[in-house]
Structure 1
């Protein structure tokens, strides 16, 4: 009868141990979890502190950079005022330079040109069967050159031939009944237009013994017209 009682006592003792074990595990888990939360909280706080410190350093850096930029701005403004004062003193000189620069751009064909001017048309004459040389009745590059040179000397701002504006380094070459201008071929008639003082240009062409008389003596058909408005694109626009 004593043996069953001992088994019952041992069974109760085992249940207590199980309860204590569960309590210990639970307590350990709670303690570990609490420690982890505390550690994460500390890490987050440290991260916030480091981030705040980084922001503070960036702010200080930006403030210093703003000071440098403000000083640069003051320096540039002062230099601008110096230029303005210098420009005010030499205004006439700068206006003259601007006018010269504009003339150079027109001559180089860098900008469009428009204004009054003249139109000179050169055409081949009718061939005389009694003549031994038919070349004496057609337009050659020398005839075109003579007109262009006279127009330039007379102050033409810009010149074109058959609509093609001439550059400072344009080349003109005769090739039978056509002329070649910068690699492009044009047949007669050759229409030469020039922007400038039309009266001055016409007077220089028609001076006694000048270009007009020479062309007529070479059997070239020449017409000279005064134009109220001639428009020419820039070289870049033509390209």
Structure 2
């Protein structure tokens, strides 16, 4: 025979059923939870997107007009300030350009004077004149005429025998066996390097009764080479004027 049951079983309490549902949710509970989460997210998003700035919502029409007028005045003042700053910028750029142009012009003049004074080495196209004494000696006058003709047609720099830079104050003296130029003795063959337009410089030696004719009369042969590039390395020491002074007004 079966033994009788011990008695009626106790039903779980509400708290126990809640914990059991949280720890072991059924499929239906999981679906319901997801739906509730989606609905809540949609509600929050809708509230955020529908919010508007109601700063001016309570203002009267006249108040709004005053606000717009104030903004228009601020805009005009800002535009005027921008225009003023742009004018200032343009003036500064113009002053800078003028100053830069003046500096470039001054530097160009310094470079030109330095070349003419023989203070710096130079390079450029030109001619090389080689004068070789054969049946006689070259006279000082013939050499000075040659230098003067080259200067007249635009010689920018002249060098003698690779060691004497010819400038406006250069002096020539006839000595035994050669010439003395600015205290330096040079002998034949005399090599004159000249920077300038090669064709013009060469032409200045060839005209009738010109330098070539005078040098041949002295018993010398003359050879002229036109060169696309020529280096003149010899320089002169700057000379401090003894009597002349710069005009303060210049």
Length-normalised TM-score, structure 1: 0.53
The alignment of Structure 1 onto Structure 2 pairs a total of residues equal to: 147
Q: What is the CA-CA distance between 1:91 and the residue it aligns to?
A: 6.5
Correspondence for 1:62? none
Q: What is the CA-CA distance between 1:83 and the residue it aligns to?
A: 8.8
Correspondence for 2:132? 123
Correspondence for 2:209? 209
Q: Would the alpha carbon gap of residues 105 and 186 (structure 1) be closer, same or farther in structure 2, given more than 3 Å must change?
A: same
3-state SS, counterpart of residue 235 of structure 1: coil
Correspondence for 2:161? 162
- Out of 104, 111, 116, the residue aligned to residue 107 of structure 1 is 116
Correspondence for 1:153? 152
3-state SS, counterpart of residue 151 of structure 1: helix
Structure 2 unmatched ranges of 5 or more? 1-89, 238-250
Q: What is the CA-CA distance between 1:153 and the residue it aligns to?
A: 1.1
CA distance in 2, matches of 1:186, 1:196: 23
* TM alignment of 1:157-196, pairs within 5 A: 157-164=156-163, 165-196=165-196
CA distance in 1, matches of 2:207, 2:106: 33
Q: What is the CA-CA distance between 1:108 and the residue it aligns to?
A: 0.7
CA distance in 2, matches of 1:143, 1:83: 58
Correspondence for 2:39? none
Q: What is the CA-CA distance between 1:194 and the residue it aligns to?
A: 0.5
Q: What is the CA-CA distance between 1:201 and the residue it aligns to?
A: 0.5
8 Å CA contact retained: 1:87, 1:94: no
192-201 or 202-211, larger mean C-alpha shift: 202-211
CA distance in 1, matches of 2:106, 2:92: 16
Q: Would the alpha carbon gap of residues 97 and 223 (structure 1) be closer, same or farther in structure 2, given more than 3 Å must change?
A: same
Q: Would the alpha carbon gap of residues 179 and 87 (structure 1) be closer, same or farther in structure 2, given more than 3 Å must change?
A: farther
Length-normalised TM-score, structure 2: 0.51
Structure 1 unmatched ranges of 5 or more? 1-80, 127-136
Deviation digits for residues 151-195 of structure 1, max 9, x if unmatched? 111111110111122233222211022111222211111111111
Q: What is the CA-CA distance between 1:97 and the residue it aligns to?
A: 4.8
CA distance in 2, matches of 1:234, 1:191: 13
CA distance in 2, matches of 1:203, 1:96: 32
Q: Would the alpha carbon gap of residues 233 and 150 (structure 1) be closer, same or farther in structure 2, given more than 3 Å must change?
A: same
Structure number with larger C-alpha Rg: 2
Q: Would the alpha carbon gap of residues 208 and 182 (structure 1) be closer, same or farther in structure 2, given more than 3 Å must change?
A: same
8 Å CA contact retained: 1:103, 1:157: no
Q: What is the CA-CA distance between 1:100 and the residue it aligns to?
A: 3.5
